[in-house]
Chains A and B, each alone.
Chain A
């Protein structure tokens, strides 16, 4: 299994501390109030640092998670005492999920999920900028460190830290409440949450650049949070299930995306027996749930496209007509240059490379695609199929010179080289 694939299927025990940090922050935020998010961050961090200082000498306790939670809870009590709020908050702290967390009997706790959902809705509040929503969700709900967020998004640490400070201040100043939105406010509040999750997953999946392991973690986290939203009785609408299905269909292909040398493999070249079958089954289950009711969101169409790829027995037997139809509907529903570009691939499969090139020509002036590497990779592929080798080489070189990841760049260079030898 490739490094990337192995990372993507890492089990939750490997991410115990990160998950615990997120759970702990969510519950402490409920008890202490979202205006105290800084304090919550400090308490969580302090508990983990205490573990780091003690365990190397004393050895691991039998239940590491419980140990950390007990430390954090004690610190929270100290802080509340100092603030003179202990009496007022005592019951809430005792009734909170913390005692249950300490005994380790918390998996499948809906109360715990609710804490995290409330926090996620606050972190993705429409009043915050998209960058702030993303950073705050990863930091607070996901338990990621500032450094990890910076590495995942190729941003300076100081920039991420500053975004977090501003976001927390905005939450405090605007007195944003910590609540799962009521049904009437739900659509307006749910969409930013889904958009943030979509961005997290794509950032992790696209691998344009940056630290591979952290990126696989982004995919994991997006799936985990999306499944949590989907499982909620009020919030989990069909389009949330469509989003989860989309994530899972794509994540299932990760183990086959690279060869043993770590080089990128095209969909046509992938060994489909390496796709994650269990993941595909989960994806299908969510796709079924997404089909309940008559809602048709962009996520539905994207999930359907992903399902066409994931369920085809081979590249040759892929149902390109259905995929093209999905792209046509997707373009009508939410037009975007990248969707139009992806449609070109399906169009070329159905109507031939000439039709593909003509469609690409119509996108030539599109500003968003001028420095978008995949645009030139697609054009190069179509030119190859028409035997226009010299032009193909030119655009593939251009694709490689744009901001591609190391494996993608190697792949493109390999193609250029094979054209040179072949032609």
Chain B
């Protein structure tokens, strides 16, 4: 069994126009997806990232430059991530395919964790 990371990219303003009732529906769909994975023992973690651009650090010429990441003006940000367990990419894709994120204009970047100890 391998671990995969789902990076959830989204438009930071994407949900602004949903009604409270729509929002309840969407949350319900996410909860159902998440709980199913957890029930199958496939969910290994997940977190929301704070709504800000964070800091971008770059090195060079013996210096580290730190700048605020773009957020409000960004068209797309990483809203959060999930860790899942799956046999291979095919299975990981199948699991990710049902993620409600894809139904609401989001994009998922799926990456396998390259474990040091196999």
Contacts and interface: CB of A to CB of B under 8 A. Distances in A.
Interface string B41-62: 0000011100100000000000
A215 to B, nearest CB: 14
Interface in A393-418: none
B24 A16 contact: yes
Interface in B79-105: 79-82, 100-101
Given A49-B15, A55-B30, A58-B48, A143 B80 contact: no
Contacts of B27: 51-52, 55-56, 60
A44 B79 CA distance: 21
Contacts of B64: none
Contacts of A206: none
Interface stretch (A17-25, A114-122, A254-262): A17-25
Nearest to B25: A17
A145 interface: yes
Given A48-B23, A51-B23, A52-B26, A57 B82 contact: yes
A144 B18 CA distance: 10
Nearest to B12: A53
B17 interface: yes
B20 interface: yes
Contact of A59 (B15, B34, B80, B101): B34
Nearest to A68: B20
A143 B18 CA distance: 11
A147 interface: yes
Contacts of A53: 15, 48, 51, 79-80
A15 B47 CA distance: 27
A147 B20 CA distance: 11
Interface residues of B, number: 25
Given A54-B48, A56-B34, A17 B17 contact: no
Contact of A145 (B21, B48, B51, B80): B21
A45 B16 contact: yes
Contacts of A20: 20
Contact of A143 (B17, B21, B31): B21
Contact of A60 (B19, B23, B31): B31
Q: How large is the interface on A (under 10, 10 to 19, 20 to 34, 35 or more residues)?
A: 20 to 34
B17 to A, nearest CB: 7
A204 B81 CA distance: 41
A147 B23 CA distance: 13
Interface in A20-36: 20-21
B80 A56 contact: yes
Given A53-B48, A53-B51, A54-B48, A15 B82 contact: no
Interface in A57-74: 57-60
Contact of A48 (B20, B46, B100): B20
Contacts of B19: 18, 143-148
Contacts of A48: 18, 20, 23
A145 B20 contact: yes
B24 to A, nearest CB: 4
Nearest to A15: B21
A280 B116 CA distance: 68
A16 B27 CA distance: 12
B82 A143 contact: no
A49 B23 contact: yes
Interface of A: 15-18, 20-21, 44-45, 48-49, 51-60, 143-148, 217
27 contacts: A17-B21, A18-B19, A20-B20, A45-B16, A48-B23, A49-B18, A51-B23, A51-B27, A52-B15, A52-B23, A52-B26, A53-B51, A53-B80, A55-B30, A55-B31, A56-B30, A56-B34, A56-B80, A57-B47, A57-B80, A60-B27, A143-B20, A145-B20, A146-B17, A148-B19, A148-B21, A148-B22
Given A49-B18, A49-B23, A145-B18, 16 more contacts: A15-B21, A17-B20, A17-B21, A17-B24, A48-B20, A52-B15, A53-B15, A56-B30, A56-B31, A57-B82, A58-B48, A59-B31, A145-B20, A145-B21, A145-B22, A148-B21
Q: Which 7 A-B pairs have the closest CB atoms?
A: A145-B19, A56-B30, A17-B24, A21-B20, A17-B20, A57-B48, A18-B21
